[in-house]
Amino acid sequence: MKCLYCGYAESKVIDSRPTEEGSSIRRRRECLHCGKRFTTYERIEEIPIMVVKKDGRREPYDGNKVLSGIRKACEKRPIPSSEVERVADDVTREVFNLLDQEITSEQIGNIIMSKLKELDDVAYVRFASVYRQFTDIDAFMKEMRLLLEEKESK
């Protein structure tokens, strides 16, 4: 790490600790040439994951969109905010664990639906109705029957 003051390339770490949000590490360094101290931050380099939309467009993965969709599905349900955020974090973690540079919006939707099915039936049906774009009552009822059959078989 180059010294801010003299440009010397060598320094030693005096102190190292995580930041408050835990997403990076703060390091106090001392230049081995001029002796002045400075602070650096180290964080994990995120590999951008591109989402391939139904129409073929590509856009960077946005965990906030996932959280927003899950929040809408869970609206007015007895589900704590912490659970909604945990589900969104689980979805993001699963997406990044696929280790692919691209993922389809359909894959993300399926991951979300599997998490919501475990969390709350109503939230699952709400999300599925928007995600799968039910065009009529028959498609909606078919999904409901599948959900009921799954519940009965458990």
Any domain includes 6: no
Confidence of residue 11 (pLDDT cuts 50, 70, 90): very high
pLDDT at 19: 79
* CA 114 – CA 117 distance, rounded (Å): 5
- pLDDT tens, residue by residue, 76-89: 999 999 999 999 99
What average pLDDT does range 19-44 have in this prediction?
89
| Residues 58 and 33 placed together within one structural domain of the fold | no
| Residues 30 and 55 placed together within one structural domain of the fold | no
Domain carrying residue 62: 50-153
| Residues 73 and 142 placed together within one structural domain of the fold | yes
| Residues 93 and 136 placed together within one structural domain of the fold | yes
Q: Is the pLDDT confidence value at 154 over 80?
A: no
| Residues 54 and 16 placed together within one structural domain of the fold | no
Any domain includes 130: yes
* CA 17 – CA 116 distance, rounded (Å): 36
| Residues 76 and 147 placed together within one structural domain of the fold | yes
Q: In what order do the strands lie in the sheet with 50-52?
A: 58-60, 50-52, 102-104
Q: Which amino acid is at 13?
A: V
| Residues 91 and 133 placed together within one structural domain of the fold | yes
Any domain includes 114: yes
Strands (E), 21-143: 24-31, 37-43, 50-52, 58-60, 102-104
Q: Answer yes or no: pTM beyond 0.75.
A: no
Give the other-Cβ count within 10 Å of 51's Cβ. 19
Number of domains making up the chain: 2
| Residues 88 and 129 placed together within one structural domain of the fold | yes
* CA 16 – CA 61 distance, rounded (Å): 31
| Residues 31 and 66 placed together within one structural domain of the fold | no
What average pLDDT does range 7-31 have in this prediction?
90
Any domain includes 4: no
What average pLDDT does range 14-23 have in this prediction?
83
| Residues 101 and 38 placed together within one structural domain of the fold | no
Q: CB of 30 within 8 A of CB of 1?
A: no
> Nearest-CA neighbor of 108 among 87, 126, 122?
87
What average pLDDT does range 32-45 have in this prediction?
90
- pLDDT tens, residue by residue, 130-147: 877 777 778 778 888 888
Any domain includes 139: yes
pLDDT at 65: 95
What average pLDDT does range 15-40 have in this prediction?
90
Any domain includes 115: yes
| Residues 68 and 22 placed together within one structural domain of the fold | no
- pLDDT tens, residue by residue, 99-120: 889 999 999 999 999 999 999 9
| Residues 28 and 84 placed together within one structural domain of the fold | no
Q: Compute the mean pLDDT over every residue in the chain, rounded to the nearest whole number.
A: 90
3-state SS class at 48: coil
What average pLDDT does range 19-46 have in this prediction?
87
State the distance between the two ends of the chain, measured CA to CA, in whole angstroms: 58
With residues binned 3-state (H G I as helix, E B as strand, rest as coil), the percentages for the chain, rounded to 5, are 45, 20, 30
